[in-house]
């Protein structure tokens, strides 16, 4: 049986992006793409609708990128970032500093709304010292920040 041409309404991994017309096997179309509303038949009306949706998504993407770049500027102006915590004589913390703690403090200092998932922290911080942290604020925007953990007075 010949392949069917469909217009993608959503991004489908290993198949295509929004607005692309793809050729797929009839079973894949019938059993997965159409029932899950991921694709439609490529009529002129549907093509217009998808193009408008694509334009709106592209505009949102650019706005999010600009917003992320503004946060990077604030982080760059901040330079280094300090937190204090209770610690023993050996420099071990009595608790741990988690990604949530770091993001809350960063949001307070910068006056921003950074999502906790933007911070890549391999494990919680459990000792005093300096740590280089990576923030991925957008698909195309990442930045580094230096965290200094000091002993609380």
Give the count of domains, the chain.
Answer: 2
pLDDT in tens, 26-71: 999 999 999 999 999 999 999 899 999 989 999 999 999 998 899 8
Give 15's strand partners. none
Distance of CA 38 to CAs 5, 46, 107, Å? 13, 13, 37
Question: Based on the domain organization, do 96 and 48 belong to the same domain?
Answer: no
Stretch 4-19: mean pLDDT: 91
Q: Is 13 exposed, middle or buried (0-12, 13-18, 19+ CB in 10 A)?
A: exposed
pLDDT of residue 110: 84
Task: Indicate if the pLDDT at residue 79 is higher than 80.
Answer: no
DSSP-assigned letters across all residues of 22-69: EEE-HHHIIIIITTTTSEE---HHHHHHHHHHHHHHHHHHHHHHHHHH
Stretch 79-88: mean pLDDT: 85
CATH code, 111: 3.10.430.100
CATH code, 11: 3.40.5.10
State which of 39, 63, 87 marks the end of a domain. Answer: 63
Question: What is the pTM for the complete model shown?
Answer: 0.69
pLDDT of residue 24: 94
State which of 63, 88, 114 marks the end of a domain. Answer: 63
Residues 6+ apart with CB under 8 A from 84: 149, 150, 151, 152, 153
pLDDT of residue 78: 80
Pairing of strands 80-85, 141-151: parallel
Question: Based on the domain organization, do 76 and 146 belong to the same domain?
Answer: yes
Question: Based on the domain organization, do 59 and 70 belong to the same domain?
Answer: no
């Amino acid at each position: 049986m010949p392949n069917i041409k469909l217009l993608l309404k959503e991004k489908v991994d290993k198949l295509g992006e929004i607005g692309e017309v793809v050729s797929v096997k009839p079973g894949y179309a019938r059993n997965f793409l159409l029932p899950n509303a991921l694709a439609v038949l490529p009529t002129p009306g549907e093509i217009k609708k998808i193009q408008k949706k694509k334009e709106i998504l592209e505009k949102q993407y650019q706005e999010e990128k600009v917003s992320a770049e503004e946060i990077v500027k604030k982080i760059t102006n901040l330079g280094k970032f300090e937190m204090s915590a209770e610690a023993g004589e050996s420099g071990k913390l009595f608790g741990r500093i988690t990604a949530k703690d770091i993001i809350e403090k960063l949001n307070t200092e910068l006056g921003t709304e950074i999502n906790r998932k933007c911070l890549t922290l391999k494990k919680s911080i459990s000792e005093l010292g300096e740590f280089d942290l990576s923030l991925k604020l957008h698909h195309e925007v990442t930045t580094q920040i230096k965290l200094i953990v000091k002993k609380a007075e």
